A and B are shown apart, each in its own frame.
Chain A
C-alpha cells in the first residue's frame, strides 16, 4: 500500500480510521512511561506555578496602588500574623517533610518497578538495524531535530547552544524584580522565553515518541505503522526554488536569506521585549552585551527551530543555505 503520511500533516482528511492497538503499543511501552507522565506533570506544575503567580500579581497591583499599605504589608499572599515567628526550626518542621517525601518517592519507585519491567531486547547485533531506532526519550527532541537540520547542527551545535544559552540566562536577565516568588506580570519576557523553549523541547520529544514510526516517517497517533511505507516527497533547497544554481551563488543567496532571517526575527523579538512601559524600563537597564546575547540565543534557538520545522514540513524545503562545506 502506498501512502503519503507526510501530506497528512497538512491534510488530516487523509488519515485512516484510528488504530487504537498501535496507539496503545506506543503509549504503554515501558520506556515511554516517563514522557507520558511528563504530559501530565508539566501542565500540573505549570498550573500550580501560575496560580501562585496570579495571586502574587494581584497583590503587587494592590500594593502599587496603595503605598501606605505597601509599607506595612508582609508582602506575601500566604497567611501571616504579626506574632508568628518568621522562621521555623528545620528540625522537625523541614526534616519531617523530607522524610515523608523520601518515603513517598521510595514507594512510587517500588510500585513502578514491581509493575513494569525494564525493557531488554535481543542481544546487540550490528547486522540487524532496529527500525525505528530511537534514542532514549529525553534525547528524542534532538533526534527529531535531525529531520530539520543536518547532524552537525541538530546533534552538536544546537545542544551546545542550548546549554550555553541556559547558563547565560541569569546573566542576560536584567530584570531585578521577581526573585524568590512566582510572578508573571513582572517577568513576562524571561518566563515567556523559557516556557517557549521548554514546551518546544517537550513537543519535539512528543513528536519523536508518538508520531515518528519506522523510517522516522510521520504517522499520526492512531495511524498504523507501515513498515513498507514509501514516501513521494521531494525536498528542495530554497535556492533551487528561485532558480539559482551553481556556486557561489547558492551559498551567497543562502547567506542573504539567513542574514535577513536574523534581522527580521531580531526586529520582531525587539518589538516583543519592549512592548509595555515596564518592559521598556527593563530594556533601559539592559546592557548592549546582555541584549545582543539574548537576541542571539532567542533567534538561534527559539525562533529558528519552529521556522525550520515549518519550512520542512509545510513547504518541503530542505536547505536554506547550500555551500560546498555545510548546509543549513
Chain B
C-alpha cells in the first residue's frame, strides 16, 4: 500500500501536515486522521451548515448541473435562463415591450401549440386502450368509457381539445391577417401556417373515424365520397372515366385502402392520425417557430407606417423613421 519509491520529495496530506519521505504515515495513523476528519464533519456546526445549504436547492450541484445558470433577477441570468434552456430557447431573450399584450396576439398561436401537446399526451394514453381493427375498435371505446379509470375524461379531453385547436388555429390566422403579419419577410411562414391549418383539419378528420361508430363512419363516407369526384383521379370526376378510373383504382381507393369504408380504412385512418400526420406536423411546427425567430420575431405591435413615407412603386421597403 505504501509508496516504495516516491518521486516527489514532499507530499501534503489533506490535513495540511507535511508528510516527508522519511516518515511515511503508518496505516494506523492514516485511519486515525480520517476518523478525525469524519468527526469534524459530523460536528453540530458543520452539519447545520450543510443543512442550511440544502435549504436553497438552487445552490446545489444537482440544480446547477441541470440549469447551469444561477436563478437571480439580473439581466444576465434572465437572458441565460431562456437561452440555455432547450424548451425555452424558442423565445428570444428579450421582446418588444408591447408584444406581451393579449390584445395584440390574442395568444392564439401559443395556445394552439399547447393544445397540440395536450392532444399528443392524451392521444398516447388513448393508444394504450385502442386496437384499430373492425369490431374491436368500438368495444375498446365502450371499455374506455365505462371501465378505464378516467377513461371518459381522457376521451372527452382529446375530442374537445381537438375542436378547440381547430378554433384557435382559425383565430390565429385571423389575427395574422388583421395585423398584416404575413407581409415581407413573413410570407413563407404564412404559407407554412396554411399547410399546418390543413394538417390540423386532417388530424381532426382522421380521428373522427377511429371510434368506428355511425357518426364517424358516415362522416368519413361522405367525406371520402367527394374524392370520387376528383377531376382526372376519381372515377366519377370529370375525365376520370376517360382516364381509366374505376372504384378500384382511383384516389378514393388509395385513401380508404378499398372501395368501401372498412377495416383497411380504419387502419389507414389510424396510421395517418397517430403517426404520419403528427410527424409531419411536428416537422412543420419546427420550421414555423424557427421562421418566426428568423423573420425578426413577433411582428408587432410595430410603429405605424405612413403613406407619405411610402417609397416609389417598385421599391418594397417602407422608409422607417422609428425603429
Number of interface residues of A (CB under 8 A): 109
User: Size range of the interface on B?
Assistant: 35 or more
Residues of B within 8 A of A326 (CB): 231, 238-239
- Can you give 17 contacting A-B residue pairs, CB < 8 Å? A64-B306, A71-B321, A78-B301, A86-B97, A89-B94, A92-B78, A94-B100, A106-B118, A133-B221, A133-B222, A135-B222, A152-B231, A152-B237, A173-B183, A178-B183, A183-B180, A186-B307
B177 within 8 A of partner (CB):
yes
A75 within 8 A of partner (CB):
yes
Residues of B within 8 A of A53 (CB): 178
A305 to B84, CA, bound (A): 51
Interchain CB contact (< 8 A) of B92 among A70, A90, A139, A156: A90
Question: Are A101 and B111 in contact, CB atoms less than 8 angstroms apart?
Answer: yes
Interchain CB contact (< 8 A) of A88 among B97, B106, B211, B300: B97
Question: Are A134 and B156 in contact, CB atoms less than 8 angstroms apart?
Answer: no
B215 within 8 A of partner (CB):
yes
- Proximity bits, A146-173, B CB within 8 Å = 1, else 0: 1000111011110000010011011101
A128 to B317, CA, bound (A): 61
Q: Which residues of A contact B (CB under 8 A)?
A: 31, 33-34, 37-38, 41-42, 45-46, 48-50, 52-53, 56, 59-60, 63-64, 67, 70-71, 73-76, 78, 84-95, 97-98, 101-102, 105-106, 108-110, 112-114, 116-126, 128-130, 133-139, 142-143, 146, 150-152, 154-157, 163, 166-167, 169-171, 173, 176-183, 186-187, 190-191, 194, 198, 278, 281, 284-285, 325-326
Secondary structure at the A interface, as helix, strand, loop or mixed, is helix
Residues of B within 8 A of A125 (CB): 214, 217
Question: Are A87 and B212 in contact, CB atoms less than 8 angstroms apart?
Answer: no
Interchain CB contact (< 8 A) of A136 among B103, B187, B205, B304: B205
Q: Which candidate, B19-27, B38-46, B54-62, B162-170, is the interface stretch facing chain A? A: B162-170
Interchain CB contact (< 8 A) of A130 among B178, B214, B316: B214
Question: Are B194 and A167 in contact, CB atoms less than 8 angstroms apart?
Answer: yes
Residues of B within 8 A of A90 (CB): 78, 82, 88, 91-95
- Proximity bits, B138-175, A CB within 8 Å = 1, else 0: 10010001000000110111111101101100110011
- CB within 8 Å for A285 and B179 given contacts A125-B214, A156-B229: no
- Proximity bits, B103-124, A CB within 8 Å = 1, else 0: 1101100110011001000000
Closest-by-CB residue of A relative to B112 is: A105
B213 within 8 A of partner (CB):
yes
Closest-by-CB residue of B relative to A171 is: B187
- CB within 8 Å for A170 and B94 given contacts A89-B78, A163-B198: no
A120 to B222, CA, bound (A): 18
- CB within 8 Å for A150 and B229 given contacts A90-B92, A179-B302, A325-B239: yes
